[in-house]
Structure 1
Amino acid sequence: MELKTAAALRRLRLISAPEAVSFLLLLVCSVLKRTTDFNAVPVMGMVHGVLFILYVLFWADSWNRARWPLGRGALYFVLSVLPTGGFFAERMLARESVAAVVAAREAAQAAQAPGSSDVVGAA
């Protein structure tokens, strides 16, 4: 994988936890709206909506760049609509993005190693 793929995975990873937190807060605000006079659903709904749209955009970009199979792409999308799924997605994406960075660095080193003219000769 290349570094742009790793960056796309990192963006998705960074938005998944805040999206999950906003979903949980929206659920709490919804319960509070029905049990008390506190009504933060409009504000929390907008915050969660923006974060969810960002998650979907970053998910589509990551799916396109990482060339995930249909099952993995669907899994990350389903995790976004579950109340605590974003936390699981963040952990899985952390492992996947580290693997992508390592693969990109190994590919870059392999490309430089055979015909490298940057070697300083001893004189």
Structure 2
Amino acid sequence: MKFLLPYPPSGWELYRGWGKTRSLSSTYKKWRKDAGYFIKIPEKPIDTPFSIAIALRRQNMRQDLDNRSKAILDCLQHYQVIKNDNLCERLTMCWCEELPAECVVILQLSEEGMAA
């Protein structure tokens, strides 16, 4: 599966508050809703190990690449593309300037998942 998504928020922007008072931030809620327009929900969520490749168009030289994966994985779980992000066996991320969208996600069953 391939998804062309808007640029995801940083992991630091997903929640507000800590502990029992923690809730989704308005920034993440908006991004997740916007991303939902570009996600074709499958008939059945992926419920076996999968791998995901994420390419982002860099917006600022001071950004950390790894801070963007959590928003994407949680969003795919929210829209029931994947059953749970703990099934992710392999995660590959890169910066790339030549992309058709700000964020390109390729999701596929991992070799372990195909054998199951």
TM-score, with length taken from structure 1: 0.28
Structure of greater Rg: 1
Query: Whose helix fraction is larger, Structure 1's or Structure 2's?
Result: 1
